[in-house]
Structure 1
Amino acid sequence: MEHETRRSKGINSIEVGYRVLEAIQEGPGSVPLKTIAERASLSPSAAHNYLASFIRTGMVRPDGRGQYALGPSLAALGMTAVRQMDTYELVEGAALRLRAATDLGVAVLIWTEAGTVIIYNRPGSPEGPFELRNGLVSTAWTGGGNVFIAYLERELTTPVVERELGVSHDECTAVMNSIATNVRNAGYAICDLKQIPDYRAISAPVWNSDGTIAYALTLTAHKDAIDTSPTGPHVTHLVRAAAQLSHTLGAPQSVMRQAVE
């Protein structure tokens, strides 16, 4: 029993130390001790003790101004982890867990030069009469496409949406502005699927380690079966899954917070 108690305390210390590292990861740039302590829910003296150990191992470096940044040994560990990580496997796993939690259809979308593309999808339970297919889909009329409209540079998305809508540049800009505002205010997109009548999608952004959008993670179902309320189970599961996947991919916390305006 005594051995188990010591072991538990050791594990807890690692978890607390990881909170300190996450507090620094949030940035932006080097972070002062007071901010690190607040983010990690520690006293400044306790946070300083962890920092002292991390500095000795090269996992944290002081910048000479009383602030701290992640260090070279942590960067080396991170690069090794990235090389060993199968990103597609992580994304597929996140989508399958989301499907299991909601019983709805799931899809993962990326942005390409041609527009929005489904790279992975699984139907809900029970399966509906319509089947999503991998490949190029609408940007203006899909949840994932709306996420890309909100968070990608306009020079990438405008030509695609303009062709889809068949309207003037000014009209297209107005539509895209409205979509982007709604998505950024909520942190996710809700869209009726024009290509699948009476079906609706909720989609959330997944972020890369460099703060750019990597994927759109999407739930789809008949509009009577999907709960789009902000505090409902479907939105909650989706947003949590997208945030967890972003975290696994190394996305900065500051980027995920700024995604909701």
Structure 2
Amino acid sequence: MNEMEAPTRSSSSSQGIQSLEIAFSILKCFKEAKAPLSVSELSKRLEMPKNKIHKYLVSFIRVGALIQNKKDSTYAMGPALIELGLVALQQYDVAKIAKPHIREFSKQINHSVALAIWSEEGPMIAEYERSDKPIQVEIQAGYRFPLLMTALGKCFAAFLPSAQVRPLVQREIDNYQLDEQTVNQELQTIREERVSFRNTPFAGIPGSMSVASPIFDYTGNMVAALCLIGFAGEIDISPTSDDVLKLKEKASQITKQLT
């Protein structure tokens, strides 16, 4: 199964939330109809009582997933769904576009290379290509990691909107007892240099050394980060080293494809 695909119902043995599945089936009706729908039309398509459907519609309107035309009592997809769809498309596109770059890049420099995207729970590995070295760093797609203790995480902390990441940043400052001024200075340097580093081991984080660079979309927003991951002595993380310059160049190439 592709790492970016969700498991189908038949492939999952876990008990789900029926109301969520019903809600999704209602939204699918709008996708298939490609037009506004009334409660009566939804009731026919879903073979579901109107009063039950109406409760879902009220909630969808409250969160912006649907909008209502009060003149003809029809409903259509709202701005929240459009925004979610655009984000999902951007994340899918960057992983799809970056995958061949990651494979080529890993072979070229013989380092393990990772691509991370942002999820609701923070940064997450979307693609990973191992090097050919005898001792490997093992990371699975879907792996999540801290913001301030990893090179990838620092990229997101530096370039994503403050309102989006600041609560997580502050939580890690408190949890890891970090100096807030030092953290802010490092994030500013990352913004200026477009590269972040980790050169010490940290519990639970694969490898002891990593360097990352951001990837942007056509709007200028950061959508992913590209990273070299390895052990001490393998990667030269000095700012002007070949490893760092090639990483930044590769991240820029992927950005150009997205813009």
Q: Give the TM-score, by structure 2 length.
A: 0.58
Distance of 1:155 and 1:201 partners within structure 2: 26
Deviation at 1:140, TM superposition (A): 1.0
Unaligned runs of 5+ in 2: 1-88
- Counterpart residue number, 1:210: 219
Contact 1:158 1:173 in 2 (8 A): no
Contact 1:149 1:179 in 2 (8 A): no
Residues 198 and 145 of structure 1: is their aligned pair in 2 closer, same or farther, counting only changes over 3 Å? closer
SS for the counterpart of 2:184 is: helix
Deviation at 1:127, TM superposition (A): 4.5
1:235 to 244, 256, 259: 244
Give identity over the alignment, percent: 22
Distance of 2:179 and 2:170 partners within structure 1: 6
Q: Match for 1:92: what amino acid?
A: K
The CA RMSD measured in Å over matched residues stands at: 2.7
- Counterpart residue number, 1:128: 135
- Counterpart residue number, 2:254: 245
Distance of 2:211 and 2:126 partners within structure 1: 17
Q: Match for 1:153: what amino acid?
A: P
Q: Match for 1:202: what amino acid?
A: V
Residue 90 of structure 1 pairs with residue 71 of structure 2: no
Distance of 2:215 and 2:238 partners within structure 1: 20
- Counterpart residue number, 1:159: 167
Unaligned runs of 5+ in 1: 1-81, 251-261
Q: Give the TM-score, by structure 1 length.
A: 0.57
Q: Kindly report which structure 2 residues correspond to 1:161-240, keeping only aligned pairs within 5 A, or say none.
A: 161-167=169-175, 173-192=180-199, 193-194=201-202, 195-196=204-205, 199-240=208-249
- Counterpart residue number, 1:141: 149
Distance of 2:144 and 2:127 partners within structure 1: 12
Q: Match for 1:159: what amino acid?
A: P
Deviation at 1:196, TM superposition (A): 3.8
Deviation at 1:200, TM superposition (A): 0.8
Contact 2:95 2:127 in 1 (8 A): no
SS for the counterpart of 2:252 is: helix
Distance of 2:252 and 2:206 partners within structure 1: 29
Deviation at 1:161, TM superposition (A): 2.6
Q: How many residues are paired up?
A: 167
Residues 175 and 116 of structure 1: is their aligned pair in 2 closer, same or farther, counting only changes over 3 Å? farther
Contact 1:124 1:221 in 2 (8 A): no
Q: Match for 1:219: what amino acid?
A: L
SS for the counterpart of 1:225 is: coil
Residues 166 and 120 of structure 1: is their aligned pair in 2 closer, same or farther, counting only changes over 3 Å? same
SS for the counterpart of 2:135 is: coil
